Chains A and B, each alone.
Chain A
């Protein structure tokens, strides 16, 4: 086993997801298959190879630090599930 139910449960918590019992079973088994497949990378010699994180030669894209127009408050709030005045309302954070 590459990954146990407990590890899947831990990672699910980190990713802010929950699973039902039977989903957990299926996911753990599918993730094992996928992680086993990835083991083939271990046979590649990558000594001294610089990791590639980007497909172009660009590094930073700077611009002048000037204020430009942005969305109005009402536009920013238009899609909110529970807007209150100029705020996004959420359930209680601390009991």
Chain B
């Protein structure tokens, strides 16, 4: 077994036992990167030299008996968090040369826990996309089938974990950008409750929806990372000051007696039949493990996508107004005067999808249209949240497919924005309501592509998500199945 293929908890056991060093682990991960990165293209920036210095420091700490939660563990960061001294591009030309003068809070927390940073991963430009194809730095390929997309927007992080180019990674999720790529790449991805993880130092897309969360190889690693990144941050005004439980304590609780809601609106025509069958089989496994399934309804589900494509672009058009070529980032040399410089810098610096969303956002907020679009969408959003509040009276957790299809082909949906937007149809509602959601692998299609199962829970109930996900993973024997499939399918030949 190569070290790069192991999990955080397995590697930490080896580090504690003195069987390996942090330098050994990093060397193994970089050997893997050298072997597969030109095929996968998961990273925008590699941080090899600083990672080696971090590994040396980790080994020194271990010799002094000082092992923290992530000491010596190589972790990849979506290129949307500020890391002091390393370019943070957000997948965009307009930030291609931006070097942040400070660390994001999550980066600080990972550092303090002893993590090693392998590099910054590829993403859809400004996290706008479901396939990682809108990145200025080229597309990332799905390690399970290199002709297919890894999902998005955090496709680089998901692909890096699936291809063992890191041990775990962080992403961000505005409408499914952690859970959908996790599903399409066969890894675990969690979007925490809005307010659970500080976004200080995260490049903003849609501020009422964005959350940061982990990509891991199993549920236990997800709990380990959540223990590190969750918690209040006075520098982030939407961060909630609420005690953080030990998420590992939920891993072995089992799901006997847990009420699992099956929302009829998520088991509809249009879902790939293989996905539907796999998720239904997963529900049966949950029942075997002692869960009690109840039929529920989330009546406003069909409006989620329309609400999202008003609210998210509206917020984005405001957030992205700051990119004007003055203080940082790309400036076009073409500008005749100040106004023209703004226009030329933004028009050359942003890609098509970002421009499309800025235009939608500006339009729905503009005078005369505000009530018809933004206000109406915000009202329907309140009804979507109410649906969940009512559903969680009847169940503890909700189960759905993560994505209506498995990974699609590169280029398949790039010319039809509406088709691309439909990839997020099952993930957007959690961002609307601010609730947490997790995607875990639940099987494979006939072509050997991973399928994801999504659990949703009430605000700040990440522990319940981890509890159900761990119970499912164990009962279904997912670890062994993924290991077998990986050996057969991820060979890069």
Task: List chain A positions with a Cβ less than 8 A from chain B.
Answer: 3, 7-8, 11-12, 14-19, 23, 27, 30-31, 33-35, 37-38, 40-42, 44, 46, 49-56, 58, 61, 63, 71, 75-76, 78-82, 88, 90-93, 95
Give the distance in Å from the alpha carbon of A88 to the alpha carbon of B358 in the complex: 25
From 436 to 493 in chain B, residues with beta carbon under 8 angstroms from any chain A beta carbon are: 459
- A82 and B347 in contact (CB under 8 A), knowing A15-B358, A17-B359? no
- A78 and B101 in contact (CB under 8 A), knowing A31-B360, A46-B380? yes
Q: Are B382 and A55 in contact (CB under 8 A)?
A: no
- Choice from B195, B307, B330, B342 contacting A41 with Cβ under 8 Å: B307
- A80 and B375 in contact (CB under 8 A), knowing A11-B359, A34-B360? no
Q: Using Cβ atoms and an 8 Å threshold, which residues of chain A touch B340?
A: 91
Q: Are A81 and B331 in contact (CB under 8 A)?
A: yes
CB distance from B401 to the nearest CB of A (A): 22
Q: Are A71 and B101 in contact (CB under 8 A)?
A: yes
- A44 and B328 in contact (CB under 8 A), knowing A11-B359, A78-B101, A95-B337? no
8 A–B contact pairs at CB < 8 A?
A3-B363, A15-B358, A41-B310, A46-B379, A51-B382, A55-B385, A55-B431, A91-B340
Q: Are A41 and B306 in contact (CB under 8 A)?
A: yes
Chain B minimum-CB-distance residue to A55: B434
Q: Are B99 and A55 in contact (CB under 8 A)?
A: no
CB distance from A37 to the nearest CB of B (A): 6
Q: Using Cβ atoms and an 8 Å threshold, which residues of chain B touch A82?
A: 331
Residues of B contacting A: mostly: helix
Give the distance in Å from the alpha carbon of A63 to the alpha carbon of B359 in the complex: 36
- Choice from A8, A49, A56, A93 contacting B359 with Cβ under 8 Å: A8
Q: Are A34 and B101 in contact (CB under 8 A)?
A: no
User: Does B408 reach chain A (CB closer than 8 Å)?
Assistant: no
Q: Are B337 and A33 in contact (CB under 8 A)?
A: no
Q: Are A18 and B382 in contact (CB under 8 A)?
A: no
Q: Are B97 and A14 in contact (CB under 8 A)?
A: no
- A58 and B376 in contact (CB under 8 A), knowing A11-B359, A91-B335? no
Chain B minimum-CB-distance residue to A92: B337
B38-46, B232-240, B257-265: which lies at the A interface? B232-240
CB distance from B126 to the nearest CB of A (A): 14
Q: Using Cβ atoms and an 8 Å threshold, which residues of chain B touch A35?
A: 360, 363
Q: Are B418 and A34 in contact (CB under 8 A)?
A: yes
From 242 to 291 in chain B, residues with beta carbon under 8 angstroms from any chain A beta carbon are: none
Q: Using Cβ atoms and an 8 Å threshold, which residues of chain B touch A55?
A: 194-195, 208-209, 385, 431-434
- Choice from A33, A71, A79, A91 contacting B97 with Cβ under 8 Å: A79
- A58 and B238 in contact (CB under 8 A), knowing A31-B360, A91-B337? yes
- Choice from B331, B356, B377 contacting A31 with Cβ under 8 Å: B356
Q: Are B356 and A88 in contact (CB under 8 A)?
A: no
CB distance from A8 to the nearest CB of B (A): 7
Per-residue 0/1 for B385-409: is the Cβ within 8 Å of any A Cβ (1 yes, 0 no)? 1000000000000000000000000
Q: Are B342 and A16 in contact (CB under 8 A)?
A: yes
Q: Are B358 and A31 in contact (CB under 8 A)?
A: no
Q: Are B237 and A61 in contact (CB under 8 A)?
A: yes
Q: Using Cβ atoms and an 8 Å threshold, which residues of chain B touch A3?
A: 363
User: Does B324 reach chain A (CB closer than 8 Å)?
Assistant: yes
Q: Are B359 and A27 in contact (CB under 8 A)?
A: yes
CB distance from A19 to the nearest CB of B (A): 7
User: Does B48 reach chain A (CB closer than 8 Å)?
Assistant: no
Q: Using Cβ atoms and an 8 Å threshold, which residues of chain A touch B376?
A: 41-42, 44, 46
Give the distance in Å from the alpha carbon of A38 to the alpha carbon of B363 in the complex: 13
Per-residue 0/1 for B333-352: is the Cβ within 8 Å of any A Cβ (1 yes, 0 no)? 00111111111101100101
- A51 and B378 in contact (CB under 8 A), knowing A40-B306, A58-B195? yes
Q: Using Cβ atoms and an 8 Å threshold, which residues of chain B touch A93?
A: 337-338
Q: Using Cβ atoms and an 8 Å threshold, which residues of chain A touch B208?
A: 53-55
Give the distance in Å from the alpha carbon of A16 to the alpha carbon of B339 in the complex: 8
Q: Using Cβ atoms and an 8 Å threshold, which residues of chain A touch B355?
A: 17, 19, 27
- Choice from A11, A61, A81, A90 contacting B366 with Cβ under 8 Å: A11
- A56 and B342 in contact (CB under 8 A), knowing A38-B373, A44-B380? no
Give the distance in Å from the alpha carbon of A7 to the alpha carbon of B382 in the complex: 30
User: Does B317 reach chain A (CB closer than 8 Å)?
Assistant: yes
Q: Using Cβ atoms and an 8 Å threshold, which residues of chain B touch A80?
A: 326-328
Q: Using Cβ atoms and an 8 Å threshold, which residues of chain B touch A18?
A: 343-344, 347
Give the distance in Å from the alpha carbon of A8 to the alpha carbon of B360 in the complex: 9
Q: Are A38 and B309 in contact (CB under 8 A)?
A: yes
Q: Are A19 and B347 in contact (CB under 8 A)?
A: yes
- Choice from B101, B342, B347, B382 contacting A50 with Cβ under 8 Å: B382
Q: Are A34 and B417 in contact (CB under 8 A)?
A: yes
CB distance from B352 to the nearest CB of A (A): 8
Give the distance in Å from the alpha carbon of A16 to the alpha carbon of B323 in the complex: 10
- Choice from B102, B338, B358 contacting A91 with Cβ under 8 Å: B338
CB distance from B140 to the nearest CB of A (A): 24
Give the distance in Å from the alpha carbon of A58 to the alpha carbon of B196 in the complex: 12
Q: Using Cβ atoms and an 8 Å threshold, which residues of chain B touch A52?
A: 378-379, 381-382, 385
Give the distance in Å from the alpha carbon of A30 to the alpha carbon of B356 in the complex: 9
Q: Using Cβ atoms and an 8 Å threshold, which residues of chain A touch B356?
A: 27, 30-31
User: Does B319 reach chain A (CB closer than 8 Å)?
Assistant: no
CB distance from A63 to the nearest CB of B (A): 7
Q: Are B302 and A40 in contact (CB under 8 A)?
A: yes
Q: Using Cβ atoms and an 8 Å threshold, which residues of chain B touch A34?
A: 309, 360, 417-418
Q: Are A14 and B337 in contact (CB under 8 A)?
A: no
